[in-house]
Structure 1
Amino acid sequence: MASYPPGQCCIQGFRHEGEATGQIITFGPENVQAYVATAAPDKVRNGSGILFVPDIFGLWQNTKLVADQFAAEGYTTFVVDVFKGDPLPYPPPMDLNFRKWIEEGDDGKPPHNSAVIDPIILDAVRALKERYGVTKVGAVGYCFGAKYVVRHLNKTSGIDSGFFAHPSFVTQDELAGVQGPLSIAAAEVDQQFPPDLRHLSEEILQKIGLPYQINLYSGVSHGFAIRADISQPQQKWAKEQAHAQAVAWFDHTLQLSSEKL
């Protein structure tokens, strides 16, 4: 594993306050939902947009607010409901069987595995390009969502550059298969992405030979980039810097041709 499977820390964190300004749409043959935050025409970054694969809470408040931030930076952002209406509620129930929810879904819903999610990602990339005129796609993933950034950072899926924070469930083979530049925001305290796996990931990315970046944030734990306690100055700063890291990465990698990377 390049990161361990989701654990208890993946369901902990804080809900953020604010008013989301995007809209909910449906896309693809199965009418999957997405939250879309559209960049203002005068701020669009050279035809670039962002596919956002969320954490296990799906299209919740925190996700929407972060998407709105990307749109304010000039990146129309498409947040995919990879759970097809079955995200974990926030806060999660005390008796949650996390593993069962991932492998089997809940109340008749489909499981939350690659066989179900991969086609959704492909449909989302197509929708982002066809509906919103995006020509270069960056992908962001938080916790659970990191796996699908890694799986689809390739020419076949149509994703040009990737960023993820505090990953879970990423395998070594998946990471070794990326075909585009990748930026990682890591937490100092993270059972899913501890130092040994972070160093292993660095070794894998070095061998690939494409541009990569791994930033380590002190004083924070798994989930900080999407569920930080922003009443705590260090957590708030780290969350904001991880977001700035993603924007700077896409500013660099999506605005340059692949020959220059």
Structure 2
Amino acid sequence: MVTECCISGFQWEGTPTGKEGKIADNDTYVVGDSEKVAILVIADLFGWTFTNTRLLCDAYAAETPATVYMPDFFGGQVVDSAIIANTNRWNEFDLAAWSKRNAKDVRWPEILAVAKSLRGKYDKVGVIGYCYGGWSGFKLGGTDQDGLVDCISTAHPTWLTKAEIDTIGVPVQICAPEIDAAFTPELKAYANEVIPTKGVPYDYQYFHGVEHAFATRGNLEDEKERRAMVRAKRAQVGWMREWLCGEEGW
């Protein structure tokens, strides 16, 4: 049975303003018109077509500003977002099978290829990763990637390991909810102990009283969740502006 934190939440109202295209052979949602700054958004398991995350991409493009790319890294599989609000349908989703199809060693080569493609086109490249995008953002920002990306931000990372935290080599931001079975208290403590020793700028944003996936699937009718989501979005925009635009962006 799929765990609640992986698939629960709310679908937001709104119409994304971007377009669909390709990058490094991956179907991609693209929004924005910057010729110098790009942001790679790596989605959670609801993938590149999910309305909520596309709306967030629109905000990053407008407020950074940047050209934002959210590719399909799940081999064309689209999870029906209607199951979010229907607990009776959660058993339709086979998390174990999904995890096997999208294991790190399976998807890492195409994630890396997309990042390299963006680096070849733009002066500055940032990464925003949600859930699944957490571990991959850290790997893209690792010291072994020789500055492939300029900064990363992640909200409620999943599959993130201590080894990936150990190798971070670029400015890094973490948006961490209080309640999270994936980004555990142990991993939170480890990140806050280790990252400050790595000689890179670090911003840790803690969100009291909210759960995993709050930044992409929070209940906008709930004041606590809505404010947490808005605060996370603002923090991520600020982080991208700081490290991708610098003084020119203010």
TM-score of Structure 1 vs Structure 2, range by shorter chain: 0.7 to 0.9
Helix, strand or coil at the partner of 1:184: strand
Q: CA deviation at 1:122?
A: 2.2
Cross-structure match for 2:124: 136
Unaligned runs of 5+ in 1: 1-5, 104-110
Helix, strand or coil at the partner of 1:209: coil
Cα distance in 1 between the residues matched to 2:8 and 2:213 = 8
Indicate whether 1:35 and 2:29 are aligned: yes
Q: Is the 8 A contact 2:179 2:212 kept in 1?
A: yes
Indicate whether 1:77 and 2:80 are aligned: no
Helix, strand or coil at the partner of 1:141: strand
Tell me the TM-score normalised to structure 2 length: 0.88
Q: CA deviation at 1:129?
A: 4.3
Higher normalized helix content (fraction of residues):
2
Q: Tell me which of 38, 41, 54 is aligned to 1:49.
A: 38
Q: Is the 8 A contact 1:27 1:123 kept in 2?
A: no
Code of the aligned partner of 1:233: E
Identity %: 29
Aligned ranges 1:1-261 → 2 under 5 Å: 7-28=3-24, 31-39=25-33, 44=34, 47-59=36-48, 60-73=50-63, 74-92=65-83, 93-95=89-91, 96-103=93-100, 111-130=101-120, 133-154=121-142, 155-156=145-146, 158-256=148-246
Helix, strand or coil at the partner of 1:186: strand
Q: Is the 8 A contact 1:163 1:184 kept in 2?
A: yes
Cα distance in 1 between the residues matched to 2:204 and 2:90 = 34
Cα distance in 1 between the residues matched to 2:109 and 2:239 = 26
Q: CA deviation at 1:115?
A: 2.1
Tell me the TM-score normalised to structure 1 length: 0.84
Q: CA deviation at 1:100?
A: 2.1
User: Cα RMSD (Å) of the superposition?
Assistant: 1.9
Unaligned runs of 5+ in 2: 84-88
Moved more, 121-130 or 243-252: 121-130
Code of the aligned partner of 1:15: Q
